[in-house]
Amino acid sequence: MSVEKICVIGLGYIGLPTAAIFASRKKQVVGVDINPRTVDIINRGAVHIVEPGLELLVHAVITQGYLRATTTVEPAQAFLIAVPTPFKDNHEPDLSYIRAAVETLAPALKKRDLVILESTSPVGTTERMAQWLARARPDLTFPATHGEASDIRIAHCPERVLPGHVLRELVSNDRIIGGLTPACSAAAAQLYQTFVEGQCLVTDARTAEMCKLTENSFRDVNIAFANELSMICAQLRINPWELIRLANHHPRVNILQPGPGVGGHCIAVDPWFIVSQTPELARLIRTAREVNEYKPQWVIQQVKLALATLLLKRTDLQAGSVRIACYGLAFKADIDDLRESPALGIARQLGKELGVKLLLVEPNIEGLPADMAMHALTDTTDALERAQIHVVLVRHREFMSMPALRDGLLVIDAAGVLEA
């Protein structure tokens, strides 16, 4: 069955690009978001997030009438759920956003509709989603009870994209298709073949869920090695970036670059989904998470040591009057996404513990989070001129060409910007 109308629930960093790409293939797409401001911005042909090429695409499909945004779900032939899946304080998955999306779309379902969960999820979430739908709509049949003959098709089809390259990678990357039945997988694969130029790799829903978690856990473990190595190098007075460059000349070694930690909604979160379900077995995955979560604390200690060094040299200064600049707040380079950002966490903690007004340089945002309004959002020129301590946290392109830091400045380069 050819799908002509698609409803995408959640218009964030994945949902909006996905909706826009479907609309660019002349599908009628209704984007749903709970934030009226987000809906208004999109309907004006603008975007509320930073992603290269996205605003041009959204403006085009809005103007052509293939995409519109709303706060309420409408009937469609396919429903895509792209909402956050954070974790609770104990690192257990929080599925409340998915459940809320399910409850919102359930009244709009009809026979032969397709429901796809794109949100990265713990193993078994797609089955739970089907159970929630079945309870909400007892008049319809679902795969758990009616298998291939069910009224509703359900699948898990996670994205695997890099922020800053989302539009290209959504199209070119292979897509995992995990249906609850072969018929569910076939329906989902047919939908994604609308725009996916890579392979649609069919499996079951549980394997699809675990595949995304595995990919991000693998990356987390590799980053943890680099971050741990950087801390060891600091103690041994070795330049970690030079060491890694040399080690990577080995034909079978490819060490990643260290940073201030690991952020974002995937790598910093997904490994805990595995740990929460198999805590006695996921020892390496847990350790990697602990290393990467400790790295921001290590960076903060380096800043405190720099502050102590400065105060010993400058007896005319008081700790509260020292100006500290932090370069970068996003969780990675050249984006505006602050979710789970170690850089943001470092700045926030420095402000609280040191009691100073920070100079914050983040070229991809227009305003600071509400709890950081007491600090100053500024540019590199101002920060370089006014601050005594400089903390480089993100490899934004704007920082790669910064003027040479003045002699005598205290610099903590957690992102390797000065090594580029």
DSSP 59-70: HHHHHHTSEEEE
For the chain, give percent helix, strand, coil, nearest 5.
Answer: 45, 15, 40
Rounded to whole angstroms, the Cα distance separating 149 from 143 reads 8
The secondary element (H helix, E strand) that includes residue 184 is: helix 182-192
Quote the distance between the C-alpha of residue 209 and its chain's center. Answer: 17
Strand partners, 410: 389
The three-point CA angle 165-168-170 to 5° equals: 100
Residue ranges and CATH numbers for the domains of the chain are 5-198 (3.40.50.720), 216-419 (3.40.50.720)
Rounded to whole angstroms, the Cα distance separating 404 from 237 reads 23
Decide: residue 404, CB within 10 A, 0-12 exposed, 13-18 middle, 19+ buried: exposed
Here the contacts of 12-15 (C-beta below 8 Å, separation 24 or greater) are 12/49, 12/82, 12/83, 12/84, 13/49, 13/51, 13/163, 13/166, 13/265, 13/337, 14/82, 14/118, 14/159, 14/161, 14/166, 15/80, 15/82, 15/83, 15/118
Per the annotation, the verdict on 212 as an active-site residue is yes
**Which pLDDT score, from 0 to 100, does residue 307 have?**
94
**Which pLDDT score, from 0 to 100, does residue 419 have?**
83
Catalytic residue among 27, 212, 295, 332: 212
The secondary element (H helix, E strand) that includes residue 115 is: strand 114-117
**Token pair in block for residue 196:** 């996916």
**Which pLDDT score, from 0 to 100, does residue 129 have?**
98
Per the annotation, the verdict on 266 as an active-site residue is yes
Rounded to whole angstroms, the Cα distance separating 114 from 184 reads 8
| β-pairing verdict for 175-179 and 153-156 | antiparallel
Strand partners, 29: 6, 67
The per-residue pLDDT string of the chain (420 residues; one tens digit each, 9 = 90 and over) reads 689 999 999 999 999 999 999 999 999 999 999 999 999 999 999 999 989 999 999 999 999 999 999 999 999 999 999 999 988 888 889 999 999 999 999 999 999 999 999 999 999 999 999 999 999 999 999 999 999 999 999 999 999 998 889 999 999 999 999 999 999 999 999 999 999 999 999 999 999 999 999 999 999 999 999 999 999 999 999 999 999 999 999 999 999 999 999 988 889 899 999 999 999 999 999 999 999 999 999 999 999 999 999 999 888 888 888 999 999 999 999 989 898 899 999 999 999 999 899 999 999 999 999 999 999 999 999 999 999 999 999 999 999 877 666 555 799 999 999 886
**Token pair in block for residue 25:** 């293939």
Catalytic residue among 157, 200, 266, 326: 266
CB hemisphere CA count around 306 (13 angstroms): 23
Rounded to whole angstroms, the Cα distance separating 220 from 271 reads 8
